[in-house]
A and B are shown apart, each in its own frame.
Chain A
Amino acid sequence: MKFVCRKCDTFMLFEKLESPAEASLGITFECPECGSRFSMVTNPGETSMVQALGVKLGGRTAPAEPMELTRETLKEPNVAEATTEAASATGSGGKCPFSSMISGMQQPGLQMEWSREALERMEKVPAFVKPMLQASVESYARNSGITLITPAVMEASKNASSDMAWAPEAERRLENIPSFIRPMARKEIERMARDRGLTTVTAALMDEAKEKFMSMGI
């Protein structure tokens, strides 16, 4: 959440965090230009919501301890302490409910034209699933020559595989896969076909799939 100073047209900055009453947070913001300050005070529900994020407003002075949030917010935690030194995190990347929110701050909006009804339907999807669903629907739309995405297009994209034709040889070769996982293999091949703009699964595509999976060493 950000606040804007309407006198200076700039973001106000986090200044400090206090606890003015039980189960309440007082968060003070300051305009870096005119120095105006105000404090936001949370009610118990809002306080719990902020705490449930597992972050310390203003930044941490020490790394989080293992299971810190869970242990701190359980009324009667029960753990054995071997040492209190926390594990450190390394690595890069990652994707979770918040990553789409963060990337959404940087890249708002959809690339293809979406109808209002389609956007409303998309709003009901969990935020972190949206990029995947959006890519899938847009891929289907592109391959079908569709430029406006409507709820009907979204529905059609879900059932797109049923429209794919199979050459007899490709169909015969699919039978080499054990029957109980054949639907997975069929979907994978059809996905490859759609990515290439094909409407029929051919033996040549099967060769390509085979080569692809061989080269992946899986």
Chain B
Amino acid sequence: MAEEKDLKTILSQLKYRDDAKVQEQIVDQLLQVKTRMGRIRRKILVMSGKGGVGKSMVTVNLALAFARVGHKVGILDVDLNGPCVPAMLGLKGQRFTIAEEGALPPIGPLGMKIASMEFLLQPDAPVRWKGPMELSPVWLGLQEMSVIREFLADIAWGELDYLFTDLPPGAAADKPPVLAGYLPELDGAVIVTIPSEVATQVVKKSISYARDVGIKVLGLIENMSGTVCHRCGAEEPLFSGDAERIAKEMEVPFLGRVPFDRALGGAADRGEPLLDPEQPSVGHFAQIAERLTQALEFKKLMATRL
């Protein structure tokens, strides 16, 4: 009886064949992402390490700030289990339309194209997958990764100047590396925090994590920086921390502060975002957008100013 070869020796003599055509399909999926994303000039993640810091609110208003000055803008809401971007933009109840060129995204204020899990769900229904939930640790992560891949590959975004991707809270886990993997030409991430000591400690972890997975941190935004008394107009801090100090410590651009604004919150709740440039919050986001543009184009500044 011939001596059985070890597996390493056998494999070194064999040529891999994609006979089940799995690799071929995965490559096709990637090409589709690349083709679709190739028509979008700037791709930016909006993330935070901590929930409840107003990340979706910042995403929406930052995107509006870019759209207001004439840019073609899209928002991808990848908070699959708690999507809220459509409600903030008055798009609740809208759906994708499946067409020849892909899934057509609903159009929001200022012509922004919006994609969200919300557009695939029945009203007020949570995300329910067909798989066995008791075995979800086996497959759910892969499922969500593929859903994100479809959002990137199959939404008919067309030509865009900016695509802002709103990540779920506690994003320092699987979603940022998944997106970075699909988007090697990702411009980077904007990190949102509030000036509480607890949140700023977590935001440091988010910055480190983004760097570890190869995502450039474009800047830090301090949300809910303070509050303006609606009776006397006096501005008061809500927390005792300082995100600008953290930005300096972590060597990331500080993009600006957004004080808590009842008008902004109310507008989001009504699904009627603030568009009037005279509104203080609109002005804050315009300034942040200007700084973000500089952060995105810092090499251009280096070319002219060094």
Contacts and interface: CB of A to CB of B under 8 A. Distances in A.
B213 interface: yes
Given A10-B14, A53-B22, A95-B181, A188 B299 contact: yes
B229 interface: no
Interface residues of A, number: 91
Nearest to A27: B20
A90 B98 contact: no
B87 interface: no
Interface in A163-186: 173-174, 176-178, 180-181, 183-186
Contacts, number: 279
Contacts of B303: 210, 213-214, 216, 218
A46 B97 CA distance: 32
Interface in B4-38: 4-5, 7, 10-11, 13-14, 16-17, 19-35, 38
Contacts of B42: none
Nearest to A44: B132
B35 A44 contact: no
Contacts of B149: 54, 96
Interface in A147-171: 158
B150 to A, nearest CB: 5
B165 to A, nearest CB: 15
Interface stretch (A109-117, A121-129, A138-146): A121-129
Contacts of B295: 180-181, 184
Interface string B66-104: 000000000000000000000000000001111111111
Interface centre among A9, A10, A91, A94 (most CB of B within 10 A): A94
Interface of B: 4-5, 7, 10-11, 13-14, 16-17, 19-35, 38, 95-104, 119-122, 125, 127-132, 135, 138-140, 142-143, 145-147, 149-151, 153-156, 177-178, 180-182, 184, 211-214, 219, 247, 251-255, 291, 294-295, 297-303, 305-306
Interface of A: 2, 4, 6, 9-11, 13-14, 23, 27, 43-49, 51-60, 64-71, 73-87, 89-99, 102, 105, 125-126, 128-129, 132-133, 158, 173-174, 176-178, 180-181, 183-189, 206, 209-210, 213-214, 216, 218
Given A44-B131, A47-B131, 18 more contacts: A4-B10, A11-B19, A48-B139, A49-B138, A51-B131, A52-B139, A66-B103, A66-B155, A76-B122, A79-B96, A79-B97, A79-B119, A82-B99, A95-B184, A177-B302, A181-B294, A214-B303, A218-B303
9 contacts: A4-B11, A48-B132, A66-B103, A69-B147, A76-B122, A80-B98, A82-B97, A87-B101, A95-B181
